[in-house]
Structure 1
Amino acid sequence: MRDIKELIGNVEKYKNVLLQKCFESKKNTVAYVVINGQPRILKWYVPGLKQNMDLEYSILKKGFSDLTLPSPLEKDAENNVLVMSYIMGENVCDIINDPRKVIEEKQKVAHLLADWFVNFHTFFKSEDGFRLRGDANLKNFILSRGRIWGVDFEESRIGKPSEDLATLCVSVLSTDPMFIDEKFELCQIFLDTYLKSVKWDVEQLNADISYALLERIQWRPNDEEILRKYATKIRNKGLRVARHNF
């Protein structure tokens, strides 16, 4: 991953940018900065991923006024940079995994996450099918002023809503502490809230959760045994039974 200081130091239009914080990113360089006194996010895409920038910009441009998404402020095609509004708040991954947070607070977040996905899938549904947010991991959500905000849409694609739901559930279950009873409860609240709110059928959810757990092995090889174990249980018995059948 490239250092954002290369961009700030070498590109004239960014020389007055004040760097505040860099974020972890698998592919691109993402930073919280101040531009002309205003907090902003700079996302600097690697040269081969210009199409990802175009996709993310188009989703934000279409959805930011109706959904809780960052505002796309500028697409700098020459330098492969997207400038977005900064969402100040608490990362949802930290909330769900914080032992000091009461369960009621986490349950509320699970409800809010479900509402966010209902709104996203409803808004972007078209004749082509459902647009998925993609990369639906907890770290890509922020709780701000009592609302959930989604960030990072470069992996968005057309697919089945169950794929987004499965990725979110796997993110809940497999982040530390892994596969504890509380995590299964939060997943069930999230899924039940979503399923009660939508007018379409969601099929093969347990199979998609199982598959998403197996996919995670490539990023978490040290956890392969436990990921395979729960992938098999959820595929064969379902999420609800797997929770109580260790």
Structure 2
Amino acid sequence: MRDIQELLDNVEKYKNALLQKRFQSKKNTVAYVLSDSHPRVLKWFVPGLRRNMEIEYSVLKKGLSDLSIPSPLEKDTENTVLVMSYIIGENICDNINDATKNFEDKQKSMHQLADWFFRFHRFFKTEEGFRIRGDATLRNFIMSRGKIWGVDFEESRMGRPCEDLATLCASLLSTTPMFTDEKFHLCHTFLDTYQKSATWTVEHISANISYALLERIQWRPQDEELLRNYATKIRTKGLQRARHNF
């Protein structure tokens, strides 16, 4: 993975940017900087993922009018850099997994997340089908100014809403603390809220959650046995019954 300082040191237009924070990213280099005293996010795509940059820019540009997402300020195609507004707030993954937070506040966050997904799917729905956000993990959401904001849309594609919902539930269940009663309750809150708003059918959610849990093994190999066990139980018994301990 390239370091953002390489971009700041060697590309003239970014030399006035002051690095504030590096973000974790599986594919690209992402950082929060101050550019002429303005807070910005620089997402530096590897050359082979130029198409991902185009996808993310398109989603941000189209969705900005109706969705809580960053503003796309510049698409630097020469250097494969996307410049975006910086959303100040708390990562939802940290919020949900914080034992000092009360359950009611976490439930409220789930209601807001469900509403965010509903609005995203409704906004991008066409006669051809749905656009899903992709990579719908808790870490790609921020609580700021009392609202949920979504970030990171390079994996957005045409698909089924249940794929996004299942990925979010798998992320919720499999982050530490894993597979607790509270986590299962929050999943149900999230899914119930979404389904009450949606005018379209959400099918095979348990099977999709099971698949999403198996996908997470590549990032959590140390938890493979536990992830496989719960994936099997959710697929065969359903989410409601799977919450009980083995």
**CA deviation map 1:78-134 (0-9, x unaligned):** 000000000000000000100011111111101000000000000000122110100
Q: CA deviation at 1:244?
A: 2.8
- Residue 195 of structure 1 is matched in structure 2 by 195
TM-score by length of 1: 0.99
- Residue 213 of structure 2 is matched in structure 1 by 213
Cα distance between partner residues in 2 of 1:245 and 1:5: 47
**CA deviation map 1:133-179 (0-9, x unaligned):** 00000000000011000000000011110000000000000000000
| 2:234 is equivalent to residue 223 of structure 1 | no
Shift >6 Å, 4+ stretches: none
- Residue 84 of structure 2 is matched in structure 1 by 84
TM-score by length of 2: 0.99
Amino acid at match of 1:35: S
- Residue 24 of structure 2 is matched in structure 1 by 24
Q: CA deviation at 1:181?
A: 0.4
Amino acid at match of 1:222: Q
Amino acid at match of 2:212: A
- Residue 124 of structure 2 is matched in structure 1 by 124
- Residue 172 of structure 1 is matched in structure 2 by 172
Amino acid at match of 1:158: M
Amino acid at match of 1:231: A
Query: Secondary structure at the residue paired with 1:201?
Result: coil
Q: Cα RMSD (Å) of the superposition?
A: 0.7
Q: Which moved more, 1:75-84 or 1:212-221?
A: 212-221
Within 5 A, what are the aligned runs for 1:61-100? 61-100=61-100
Amino acid at match of 1:15: K
Q: CA deviation at 1:245?
A: 5.2
- Residue 104 of structure 1 is matched in structure 2 by 104
| 2:54 is equivalent to residue 54 of structure 1 | yes
Cα distance between partner residues in 2 of 1:127 and 1:34: 42
Cα distance between partner residues in 2 of 1:12 and 1:232: 53
| 2:235 is equivalent to residue 235 of structure 1 | yes
Q: CA deviation at 1:243?
A: 1.1
Cα distance between partner residues in 2 of 1:136 and 1:53: 17
Cα distance between partner residues in 2 of 1:130 and 1:54: 18
